[in-house]
Structure 1
Amino acid sequence: MFSFLPTLVRCAPRGVGLLRSTPRNIGNSAHLSTNRSLSTGSRRVGFFNNNATPLSSPLQTFRGVFRRAYHNERPNSRYAHRNFRNGASGNKSRTSVFAFLDRIPANWVFYGIIGTNVLVFAMWRSIVTREQQIFMIQNFTTSMTNTVQRPWTLLTAAFSHADMKHILFNGMTFFFCARSVLDLLGPRRFLALYTSAAVISSLVASISTQGNPRSMTLGASGAVFSVLSVIGCVAPYSTFYVYFIPVPAYLAVGGLFAYDAYKWYAMPPDGTSHAGHIAGALTGLGYFLLFRGRHF
């Protein structure tokens, strides 16, 4: 997706930060036959103030606008408003089961996801025997066969990229867009969003290709799309400059959704799992609506 739209997108959210993105292939699970799909490359370019320019030092992205808009009273600890907002109530025991995840440094989560993608990519590139190829297909792609026989591939396929362009575009999108959402939600909530979107988008991609049992998909686009969807919901009036035309974030993200919906419904298969993209975007939207009054 967006292979024909190598345009500059610059985002200036409500006077807080500038984000600069270059969409390439914002895709989810790319079909293995083409290994093309995913994502946008983004680049933070400056701190937005009266003197800011697109070439200012890369200091901030959406974090400030998220917190100003939805967290007027800041807790003492970074994620206290999410982990312990119920104090000593009965809900504490329920949330404390996975509360340890918020004690993991955000950098570990952020670079851990990137590192896992790089590791799996290296495994693809180091294939020299047919047995190794079969192992990777069976454990790092998703299909109806894998979904039934190896359900863990619904998650592992979202960390799998088989060519350089694929991982480069996905990695750039994640690197420059995901950190803001991670800082907003904290590690536990972010991992819940990211992994659930990965599993759901992989499942939908598998179902959408069940007419072709040999069709296999892979890629992080569904998970990345959920992150973009949250950005569009949390900071809907932040500005994206598409072809140097200012566009609200909600309209830009909605446009991506509409594009994938059109390609999935009206066009013949093109080697990109548009159904998986849609599922990822809807997962992000659903997460926002479900927790709107609690975490946002």
Structure 2
Amino acid sequence: MTNLEPVTIAIILANVLPSLKGFDDQYFLNKYLFNISAINNGQHFRMFTSGFLHGDITHLLFNMLTLYFFADVVIGTIGPQYFILIYVASLLFGNALSYYFHRNEPHYSALGASGAVSGILYAAILLYPDMSLYIMFIPIPVKGYIVGIGYLLFSIYGMKKRLGNIGHDAHFGGAAAGFIITLILRPNILVQETAIVILMAIPIIALFIMTKLGKI
């Protein structure tokens, strides 16, 4: 990690250390994870603390590897202070969207940095929409903006079908926050990459419409 930006190292450590403690300390884990009943009873800090805990080592490694690959792209372009803004806002907005969809499920619990990491991923893609990414089982590189659109469309599908033990709503909310904040910070992207911005916004608009129509 010696070549990483200091803020990237700090965020990774802020995830790794509490997660490792949570693996061996169920009381600690239960005290700080996202839980609807606890949040409704006033423990709003869980909306933040749950973003630094993970269910197992695979969950932790996947999120930290994604952060490792994309964090410095964002930091190098907009600076560490705005990187932190996007990270924290994506974490909170991801959990806020999760709360909205599960607010009537008192036993619903979740944890993980996926919302925050999704925000950083989407910010990186928006800053460099033509970047080439490799996806599992696809032997050729795919343009970043195509990956981004597919990611959100799959998240909508996952939310609608309750697919797997995955917080698709937190992923979506985090990515949407990263998208919106990056556009606010770099409005020139809207002029330079108008078509791509519109395409990347389609899943966000689609979720809003589906929610209004009661389709999700």
* Residue 123 of structure 1: how far off its partner (Å): 1.2
List gaps (5 residues or longer) in structure 2: 191-216
Q: 3-state DSSP class of the match of 1:245?
A: coil
Match for residue 146 of structure 2?
Answer: 251
Contact 2:36/2:105 (CA < 8 Å) preserved in 1? Answer: no
Say which structure is richer in helix: 2
Say which structure is richer in strand: 1
Residue from 92, 109, 124 that aligns with 1:216: 109
* Residue 288 of structure 1: how far off its partner (Å): 1.8
Given the two structures, how large is their TM-score scaled by the length of structure 1? 0.58
Match for residue 10 of structure 1?
Answer: none
Q: 3-state DSSP class of the match of 2:141?
A: strand
What is the rounded CA distance, in whole Å, between the counterparts of 1:175 and 1:168 in structure 2?
10
Deviation per residue, 1:6-51 (Å, 9 max, x gap): xxxxxxxxxxxxxxxxxxxxxxxxxxxxxxxxxxxxxxxxxxxxxx
Please show how residues 1-296 of structure 1 align to structure 2 within 5 Å: 107-127=5-25, 133-139=26-32, 141-148=33-40, 149-242=42-135, 243-265=138-160, 267-293=161-187
Q: 3-state DSSP class of the match of 2:34?
A: coil
* Residue 295 of structure 1: how far off its partner (Å): 9.7
Contact 2:36/2:107 (CA < 8 Å) preserved in 1? Answer: no
Deviation per residue, 1:68-103 (Å, 9 max, x gap): xxxxxxxxxxxxxxxxxxxxxxxxxxxxxxxxxxxx
What is the rounded CA distance, in whole Å, between the counterparts of 2:20 and 2:8 in structure 1?
19
Contact 2:7/2:80 (CA < 8 Å) preserved in 1? Answer: yes
Q: 3-state DSSP class of the match of 1:214?
A: coil
Q: How many residues align?
A: 185
Question: Percent identity between the aligned chains?
Answer: 26
Contact 1:185/1:295 (CA < 8 Å) preserved in 2? Answer: no
Deviation per residue, 1:93-142 (Å, 9 max, x gap): xxxxxxxxxxxxx8331111111111111211232xxxxx3343122x11
Q: 3-state DSSP class of the match of 1:213?
A: coil
What is the rounded CA distance, in whole Å, between the counterparts of 1:241 and 1:167 in structure 2?
20
* Residue 269 of structure 1: how far off its partner (Å): 4.5
* Cα distance change on mapping 1:223 and 1:117 into 2, 3 Å: same
CA RMSD across the alignment: 2.1
What is the rounded CA distance, in whole Å, between the counterparts of 2:64 and 2:177 in structure 1?
20
* Cα distance change on mapping 1:147 and 1:185 into 2, 3 Å: farther
Q: Relative contact order: is structure 1 or structure 2 higher (C-alpha 8 Å, sep ≥ 6)?
A: 1
Given the two structures, how large is their TM-score scaled by the length of structure 2? 0.78
* Residue 286 of structure 1: how far off its partner (Å): 0.5
What is the rounded CA distance, in whole Å, between the counterparts of 2:78 and 2:121 in structure 1?
14
Contact 1:147/1:203 (CA < 8 Å) preserved in 2? Answer: no
* Residue 209 of structure 1: how far off its partner (Å): 2.0
Which amino acid in 2 is paired with 1:188?
Q
What is the rounded CA distance, in whole Å, between the counterparts of 1:254 and 1:115 in structure 2?
30
Where does structure 1 differ by over 3 angstroms across 4 or more consecutive aligned residues? 293-296
